[in-house]
Chains A and B, each alone.
Chain A
Amino acid sequence: MKHFKTIHLIRQFILLLISLLTVNYGYAASAQDKFDEYMVKAAFTMNFARLTQWPEKRLKASEEINICVMGNETLKSTFTLVNGNNINGHTARLKIISRLNMIKQCHILFISGIKQSNMRQIFKLAQQHSILTISELPDIRQSHAILNFVMHKHKVRFQIDPEKAQQAGLKISSRLLKLAIIKKSIANRP
């Protein structure tokens, strides 16, 4: 609860900051929506982390879970709330990724606002390092990520490619799969 209160305060603060910075009301509104969206995604991301099992060597006991983000500022600022959260006995840590070689340390990697070709490269690399990759594209079949946020009826929903997760050496809980909109991998498509 305390946690939520802190988040709430932070959110209020950021909201106030943004409203000061932007004159455009419309823009401001859109910014507010975006903020909420990322807040939910950040929470979802932590839940993903909870329902995912990394290979032992990749996530040792009492090791911190590094949640890495790559994207715009809103994303980065909202995702700070994951910091310090306990995920299956591990403390979550937000990592802002600016260079590619930095992704080795990530356990989760959320990429937003970059080109699909680049994204593909990064996700292929990430796959080798057993990183749960998350994108926010309209369809997962375009992103090559394991998870993909989509908006459905103004609500944040997500898609999963279990095959890719398997390839990355991650075990994703069935409960997560149950909630996913699309679960098929592109490769599995006929």
Chain B
Amino acid sequence: MIPEFKNLSVRFKLILMMSLASAIGLLLLTSAVIFNETRRANSDTIKELTALADVVGWSSAAAIAFDDPDAARETLKSLSTHSDIVATILCDKKGQVFSYYLSPRYQDHKTAFNLKNDSSQNCSDLQSSRIHYPYHLIIRKINLQGENVGSIHLVYQQNTLGRQLDNYYLLVITIALLSFLIVVLISTRLQKVFTTPLTELMETMKSVSTEKKYNIRANKISDDEYGTLVDVFNEMLNEIQQRDSQLASYSQRLESEVAERTKDLYKKNNELQAITLEALQAKNIAEKANHIKSDFMATISHEIRTPMNGVLGMVEILLRTRLTDKQTKLLNTVQRSGKSLLLLINEILDFSKFESGKLSLVKQAFRPYNLLQDTLELFIEDARAKGLQLRSELVIDEHLVLIGDRNRLQQILSNLLSNALKFTNRGEIILRCSIPELGQYNDNKHIKLYFEVEDSGIGIPYDKQNIVFEAFSQVDSSTTREYSGTGLGLSICKQLVSLMDGDIGVNSDVNSGSTFWFTITLELGEENLLPETTQENDCAQETPQFAATVLVAEDNPVNQELARTMLEILGCEVLLASNGKEAISIAEAQPLDMILMDCHMPQIDGFKATEHLRTQNELRFAKEQLPIIALTADVRDGIRKQCLQAGMNDYISKPFTLSELAHKLSQWLDVSKHQLPVVTFKEEDITPENSTIEKQAWERIRELQRPDQPDVLHKLIRLYLDNTPDLIDLLSQYARDMDKQAFTETAHMLKSSSTNLGAVRLAQLCEKIECNADAQINQNNQAKALELIQQIQSEYQQVEKELEAELSRPDTE
């Protein structure tokens, strides 16, 4: 297959083109020459032969004129030398063949020309139409001195001419072929003029592209377009080389830079490693230190709590004995101081827990409404003492049950409330709680609560509002002295709130009070999740009676004594053990209803002793049969778990109050078996030496007096006097009807109003019947209740007398 033209090499194309051009030229030239030559030769032949015919004609003219064919033939014979002439025919005037001559070479052609021997033949037979190639005919007239005598017909063949032309053509063609050959030869050489620089350039390009040597230059051979091409190419190479070298220098610079940086990096890395190592060491040290600190904290807490337990417990017990007003006052101060010391210790402990991140929340179901009420209750007394009004605006469902750390929430609220109390000298404190619009979460499992504690206190300057939540800070360092506190309270609040997925903040200004608010998110709970609690009422402080034998294992003699006293107050029979070993032997020796076990004791500690008893595989030492409750001053989070793991049922952290202890007893002892009905009242609980009316209460009421208003005290007294007799009547009626609930409520109402007006003894009596409602409102004790109502009746008569006396005085301005 012939390759396409465009794919042929330039070399070949050039040769082909040049050859083709020259071939065409030569062909045209040769054709022209041959054509021209043929024509010329033809016309020459015709001219020559015409001239010859004319000469012969002239020579024969006389012969024809004188009718002498022989003479004419002689003349014609002279033509025999001419090789081209085939025949010569003379015709006379009449058009008849006069004489003819046929070349001896063509004798056999005679008939071809219709030549006959007789002279009668007509010359018209010899017209040119009858003479065919290769023969040609020339006809000339013959004149004799102007007079036509006949004609001469010359038949010829271009033998000579043909031969001549053949030679000529041969020559021309030979020359043409030779020239073509030369052209081809020259063009094969000439194409190098074009292709050589191209090939060289290509070679250069190839070597540039394969060897990547940009310093190679193409040779410039000529100043034509190729020269320009080479120049341009070289220029291009130049540029590439320049860029290449630039690039190379760049990359070199980059490399060195990278190397330098790597070195730097390596150095820095080393430094960093060293620093990390140091930091790690520091961390370890810090962790160790922190561990030591937290251990220290626990120890301190334990060490402080243990004596505090003694102090507070003893004070509590002492307060239950018959004391003078002065003594009671002093003891109350001791108790308050002890409690605030305990609070401080707790705060510091909490704070250290936050620091080490060890504080975790407990999950338990509770009613926030109750919690708020209870919390508020705690401060009512203090608020009243300070002459402040403490109230709440709770916009939540009373029966709402939530799951969360009840105690921690109470801690926050207490903190805020105590702060409010601390910094407010007059006016009011309002506790608010609501569920914000967006409080209800989509999953219906969580709820957001909003709390607010508003006071009308000294306020916080705007620029200090942020730092109040920081540890160890108070608005003014001077306030620390004026207002007590570690400055940790709000910081702890903030931490707790954030643990409960909420925010805390304050709106305040100097002298316009403060409003502390916070939000928390809690899980929604069910009614049935609530822990079974004994009906909590004002009677919590009342001492229930338990018929139980309780072993107290405690190494500290003060605490041993305290626990024994408390348990005896609660009606228990108490056994004592100074360590675990003793406890075990006592437990094994005689039947027990409960063991209070101190955790940290010499020889065998509480945990081990418990474990020992639990593993005795005796039914009486089973968890259900013999409740063991830990007594511990350790308040670390893990302690509860540790106690439970050891096989204990519960724990009481030191210092504990009588009610706490009573609560635990009622929780773990079989109430039906061990709790005794409160049937007897200890006379010493009532304070007969107290005046009927405490006038301080009246003073508190008078503080609420506003100018140009009716006397508040008188108003209240009148209200009291109007209602109380009816209430007492109702009380006795309910007692007879044995309507326990109505009885309790009426007693409570009477108690509250009496307290407000300072009728202390009456209030105490009311409280008594209220708290013993369970025991009294039944068949057996109905009489006892009625007897108590009788006492209330007589007490009221005295109160009435004094109130009447007050009313008889004119209204104070």
Using CB atoms, name the residue of chain A closest to B63: A179
- Pick from A43-51, A117-125, A163-171 the stretch touching chain B: A43-51
Cβ-neighbour of A175 out of B61, B93, B146 (below 8 A): B61
Cross-interface CB contact of A179 among B62, B93, B146, B147, cutoff 8 Å: B62
Contact B147 A178 (CB under 8 A): no
Nearest-CB distance from B522 to chain A (Å)?
157
Is A31 an interface position by the 8 A CB rule?
no
In the complex, what distance in Å separates the CA atom of A173 from the CA atom of B61? 12
Say which residue of B59, B62, B71, B94 sits within 8 Å of A47 (CB atoms): B62
Q: Which residues of B contact A44 (CB under 8 A)?
A: 65-66
List of B residues within 8 angstroms of A40 by Cβ: 67
Q: A86 contacts B146, CB within 8 Å?
A: yes
Q: Which residues of A are found within 8 Å of B62, using beta-carbon distances?
A: 47, 51, 173, 175-176, 178-179
**Which residues on the A side are within 8 Å of B93 (C-beta)?**
4
- Which of A86, A87, A89, A158 is within 8 Å of B66, CB to CB? A158
The interface residues of chain A lying within 8 Å CB-to-CB of B61 are: 175
- In whole angstroms, what is the CA distance A47 to B67 when docked? 11
| Interface 0/1 of B120-145, CB less than 8 Å to A | 00000000000000000000000011
Query: Would you call A155 an interface residue if the criterion is a C-beta within 8 Å of the partner chain's C-beta atoms?
Result: yes
Interface assignment of B745: CB less than 8 Å from any CB of chain A: no
A116 interface hit (Cβ, 8 Å): no
Q: Which of A4, A88, A156, A173 contacts B146 (CB 8 A)?
A: A88
| Closest Cβ–Cβ distance, residue B143 to chain A (whole Å) | 10
Among B67-122, those with CB < 8 Å from A are 67-68, 71, 93-94
- CB <8 Å contact, A51 and B67: no
Residue in chain B with minimal CB distance to A156 = B67
Query: Contact flags (1/0) for B155-176 with A, using CB distance below 8 Å?
Result: 0000000000000000000000
Q: Kindly identify, within residues 43 to 71 of chain B, every residue whose CB is under 8 Å from any CB belonging to chain A.
A: 59, 61-63, 65-68, 71
Q: Decide yes or no: A50 and B145 within 8 Å by CB, A44-B66, A179-B63, A179-B68 being known contacts.
A: yes
Q: Give complex CA distance A39, B59 in Å.
A: 24
- Nearest CB of chain A from residue B149's CB, rounded to whole Å: 8
**Per-position binary interface string of chain A over residues 34-64, scored 1 when its CB falls under 8 Å from any chain B CB and 0 otherwise:** 0000001001100100110000000000000
The residues of A that contact B147 with a CB separation of less than 8 Å are 50, 86-87
| Chain B residue at minimum C-beta to C-beta distance from A50 | B145
Which of chain A's residues has its CB closest to B61's CB? A175
Chain A residue numbers with a CB within 8 Å of B68 are 157, 179
CA distance A10 to B558 in the complex (A): 208
Give Cα distance in the complex from A179 to B67, angstroms.
10
Whether A178 contacts B145 by the Cβ 8 Å rule is no
Q: Are B145 and A88 in contact (CB under 8 A)?
A: yes
Indicate with 1 or 0, residue by residue over A74-89, a CB within 8 angstroms of chain B CB atoms: 0000000000001111
Q: Separation in Å of the B96 CB from the closest CB of chain A?
A: 13
In the complex, the chain A residue whose C-beta lies closest to that of B69 is: A155
Interface string of A102-126 (1 = CB under 8 A from B): 0000000000000000000000000
Most chain A CB within a 10 A radius of its CB, from B67, B94, B146: B67
For the complex, give the distance between the alpha carbons of A155 and B271 in Å. Answer: 158
**Cα–Cα distance between A173 and B63 once the two chains are bound (Å):** 13
- In the assembled complex, the Cα of A88 lies from the Cα of B62 at a distance in Å of 14
* Residues of A contacting B63 in the complex (Cβ-Cβ under 8 angstroms): 179
Task: Specify which of B71, B94, B144, B146 is in contact with A89 (CB 8 Å cutoff).
Answer: B146
Contacts of B94 in A (CB 8 A): 4
CB distance from A176 to the nearest CB of B (A): 6
- Chain A nearest CB, measured from B94 CB (Å): 7
**A179/B66 contact (C-beta < 8 A), A4-B93, A4-B94 known:** yes
A183 to chain B, nearest CB (A): 13
> How many residues of chain A get a CB closer than 8 Å to chain B's CBs?
20
**Inter-subunit contact B66/A50 (CB<8 Å):** no
Interface centre among A44, A47, A87 (most CB of B within 10 A): A47
Complex Cα spacing A176 to B147, Å: 15
**Chain B residues, CB < 8 A from A88:** 145-146
Chain A residue with minimal CB distance to B93?
A4
Which residues of A in the span 140-183 have a Cβ within 8 Å of any Cβ on B?
155-158, 173, 175-176, 178-179
Q: Which of B61, B93, B145, B147 has the most CB of A within 10 A?
A: B145
CB–CB B66/A47 < 8 A: yes
Q: Which of A89, A157, A179 has the most CB of B within 10 A?
A: A179
Within 8 Å CB of B65, what residues of A?
43-44, 47, 50
- B71 A87 Cβ-Cβ under 8 A: no
CB of A49, distance to nearest CB on chain B (Å): 9
**Residues on B with beta carbons closer than 8 Å to the beta carbon of A179:** 62-63, 66, 68, 71
Q: Is the CB of A47 within 8 A of B144?
A: yes
> How far is the CB of A171 from the nearest CB of chain B, in Å?
13
**CA gap between A158 and B63 in the complex, in Å:** 12
Q: Is the CB of B67 within 8 A of A178?
A: no
Chain B hits for A158, CB < 8 A = 66
Chain B residues within an 8 Å CB radius of A157: 68
Chain A 1-41 interface mask (CB, 8 Å, partner B; 1/0)? 00010000000000000000000000000000000000010
A residues within 8 A CB of B144?
Answer: 47, 50-51
Q: Residue B145 contacts which of A4, A43, A87, A156 (CB distance < 8 angstroms)?
A: A87
Closest chain B residue, CB of each to CB of A85: B147
Q: Kindly list chain B residues whose C-beta atoms are within 8 Å of the C-beta of A178.
A: 62, 71
In the docked arrangement, what's the CA distance between A170 and B371, Å? Answer: 188
Of chain A, the residue at the smallest CB distance from B75 is A178
Residues of B201-232 whose CB lies within 8 A of A = none
Q: A4-B94, A176-B62, A178-B62 are contacts. A51–B71 as well, Cβ < 8 Å?
A: no
How far, in whole Å, are A89 and B145 apart by their CA atoms in the complex?
Answer: 9
Which single residue of chain A is at the shortest CB-CB distance from B143?
A50
Cβ contacts under 8 Å, B145 to chain A = 50-51, 87-88
A21 to B53, CA, bound (A): 49
Q: Please measure, in the bound complex, the distance between the C-alpha atom of A33 and the C-alpha atom of B406, giving whole angstroms.
A: 187
Give A87 Cβ to nearest chain B Cβ, in Å. 7
Please, which residue of chain A has its CB at the minimum distance from the CB of B60?
A: A175
A178 to B93, CA, bound (A): 21
Cβ–Cβ < 8 Å partners of B71 in chain A: 178-179
Q: How long is the Cα–Cα vector from A176 to B65 in the complex, in angstroms?
A: 10
Kindly state the separation between the CA atoms of A175 and B149 in the bound complex, as whole angstroms: 14
Q: How long is the Cα–Cα vector from A26 to B703 in the complex, in angstroms?
A: 216
Q: In chain A, what residue has the closest Cβ to B62?
A: A175
* Nearest CB in chain B to that of A177: its residue: B62
- Find the A residue at minimum CB distance from B146: A88
Complex Cα distance A75/B147, Å? Answer: 23
Measured in the bound complex, the distance between the Cα atoms of B289 and A175 in whole Å is 169
Given contacts A4-B93, A4-B94, A173-B62, contact A155 B146 (CB under 8 A): no
The answer for the CA separation of A127 and B546 in the assembled complex, in Å, is: 220
Q: Residue of B at shortest CB range from A158?
A: B66
User: Could you tell me the distance between the alpha carbons of A155 and B68 in the complex, rounded to whole angstroms?
Assistant: 9
Closest chain-A Cβ to B72's Cβ sits at a distance in Å of 10
State in angstroms the CA–CA spacing of A124 and B176 once bound together: 77
CA distance A40 to B68 in the complex (A): 12
**Closest approach, in angstroms, between the C-beta of A56 and any C-beta of chain B?**
17
Q: Which residues does chain B contribute within 8 Å of A43, judged by CB atoms? A: 65
Please measure, in the bound complex, the distance between the C-alpha atom of A4 and the C-alpha atom of B150, giving whole angstroms: 13
Measured in the bound complex, the distance between the Cα atoms of B61 and A178 in whole Å is: 12
Evaluate contact between A175 and B67: CB separation under 8 angstroms: no
CB distance from A82 to the nearest CB of B (A): 12
B65, B71, B144, B146: residue with the most chain A Cβ atoms closer than 10 Å: B65
Known: A51-B144, A176-B66. 19 other contacts (CB 8 A): A4-B93, A43-B65, A44-B66, A47-B62, A47-B66, A50-B144, A50-B145, A51-B62, A51-B145, A86-B147, A87-B145, A88-B145, A156-B67, A158-B66, A173-B62, A178-B62, A179-B62, A179-B63, A179-B71
Which B residues are closer than 8 A to A by beta carbons?
59, 61-63, 65-68, 71, 93-94, 144-147
17 contacts between A and B (CB under 8 A): A4-B93, A43-B65, A47-B65, A50-B65, A50-B144, A50-B146, A51-B144, A87-B145, A88-B145, A89-B146, A158-B66, A173-B62, A176-B66, A178-B62, A179-B62, A179-B68, A179-B71
- The 6 closest A-B CB pairs, nearest first, are A50-B145, A175-B62, A47-B65, A179-B66, A88-B145, A179-B68
